[in-house]
Amino acid sequence: MDSVSLVMTNEQQEDVQEEIERLETDKANDNVVVKLTGNQTIAGIKTFSNKPQVPTGTTGLDAVNKAQLDADILSASAVESLNDRDTYRL
């Protein structure tokens, strides 16, 4: 590959340097963005414009989707009455 030499005035060099500094300032720093992959701890309240989709849970610490929860309630082994409320035992 051939190299190319650019000749710039001092003013052009200053403009380029200012633009580089602006881009470095405006970039999203790694420690303040939510990434699409990998483990992260995210603090604060986040509001979604659409409902998030949750896969079917497989361990006790997994979130469950509504369909899985509905199926578990329907398959409840017993219903007890406690203080005028129905209690489902799964």
Task: Read off the pTM.
Answer: 0.41
**To which H or E segment does residue 79 belong?**
strand 78-82
Q: Distance between CA 41 and CA 58 in Å, rounded?
A: 21
DSSP string, 7-28: ---HHHHHHHHHHHHHHHHHS-
Q: Residue 88: phi, psi to the nearest 5?
A: -95, 125
Query: Mean pLDDT, to the nearest integer, of 65-88?
Result: 71
Q: What is the pLDDT of residues 13-72, one digit of tens each?
A: 999 999 998 888 878 778 888 889 999 998 899 899 998 899 988 998 999 999 988 888
